[in-house]
Every structure is written in C-alpha cells, then in structure tokens.
Amino acid sequence: MSFTHTNKVRYQYVSGSVNVLKEVSKAETAGAEMNVSSGCVLLNPTETALTLENFEFATAAQAKSVYLRLDGYNGELFGGVGGVTSMADLVDGEPYVWSDNGGLNFPPGRTNPMVNATDMLKLVPAAGGDVGATGTLTVSVLYDPS
C-alpha cells in the first residue's frame, strides 16, 4: 500500500489594487506514514520540555514529506537520540511543511527537519508563554520504510 501527501503553498501578494495569488503544490508518494496529534499544556518553560515517547524514526533520508504544526503557543521541536537535536522552531498556528521534491526541497529554502535515530520528540515551549495555556502538536511524516 502506498500513501500520498501533498504540500501546497499559497502565495499572495497585495500592493494597492494589485492582488496576485499563486498556488504551488508538490505531491510525494511512499510506503508508510507516521501521524501524531497530541495535546500539550504549557508548563514553566524553564523547568521541563514536553516529551512524546515512542516516536521512532531511524533515518532522516527516508522522509519524503513532513508537516509540523504547533497550535496554542510557540515552541521548538527536538528529535534524535533522547530528543536533543533541534528539528524546527514552530510559531503558533504556522505549519512547517517540507517535501523532498526529487532532492530539490519544497518550498524553496526549507530542508528536511527529521533527525537520524529519533527515539522521542521533545517540545520546548518558547519563553514568555502563559503557563497553563493549552496547545496541540501535529506531526505527520511520509517516508520510505525500506
């Protein structure tokens, strides 16, 4: 069985009465996917990170498409052994999307955020958030399982 993920980016340029819209999308197909959506309550950022155990991803190069989003507050997502390697800075409600696009990376300027030997994910909330705020972390990875 194969899965297809499509990353679509909409560009909008507005200047006076000029309003230009352009959508660009890239579709990736591979044999497996991992999807996590987890509620997370903002603790004191100086005390602890929020840990998602049992998220295992062996080889970053297997990833073909990635979608990361944190709703509720800003934070930094970590992976790798023990969740110590930075993957992406996440801004409240702004998706981080990446597609392999035949090795050309899409959208331009984005790179594969996955980290080799990931055995857990850690979310470190950004300083200045409201303690007790609720959020949701969404992680979706399309990858080649071979």
Does residue 24 sit within a domain?
no
Residue type, 52: L
Neighbours of 43 (CB within 10 A): 15
Mean pLDDT per 10-residue section of the chain, whose length is 146 residues: 94 96 97 93 67 90 97 93 96 97 96 97 83 89 95
Distance (Å, whole) CA 119 – CA 48 = 18
CA dihedral 22→100→88→58, nearest 10 degrees, is 160
Residue 58 falls within a domain, yes or no?
Answer: yes
89 falls within a domain: yes
Judge whether 93 lies within some domain: yes
Task: Report yes or no: 100 and 7 within 8 Å, Cβ to Cβ.
Answer: no
Which pLDDT does position 91 carry in this prediction?
96
pLDDT given for residue 130 in this prediction: 75
Q: How many whole angstroms separate alpha carbon 37 and alpha carbon 140?
A: 9
Residue 47's pLDDT is 55
**How many structural domains are present in the chain?**
1
C-alpha distance across the termini of the chain, in Å: 13
For the whole model, what pTM was predicted? Answer: 0.91
Measure Cα distances from 54 to 16, 49, 67, 125, 145 in Å. Answer: 50, 16, 18, 20, 17
Rg, Å, the chain Cα set: 16
Residue 67 in domain: yes
Looking at residue 44, what is its pLDDT?
Answer: 64
Residue 5 domain-assigned (yes or no): no
**Residue range of the domain that includes 47:** 30-143
Residue 66 belongs to some domain of the structure: yes
Burial 50-79 (b: 16+ CB within 10 A, else e): bebeebebeebebbbbbbbbbbbbbbbbbb
Q: What is the CATH number of the domain that holds 121?
A: 2.60.120
> Is residue 10 in some structural domain?
no
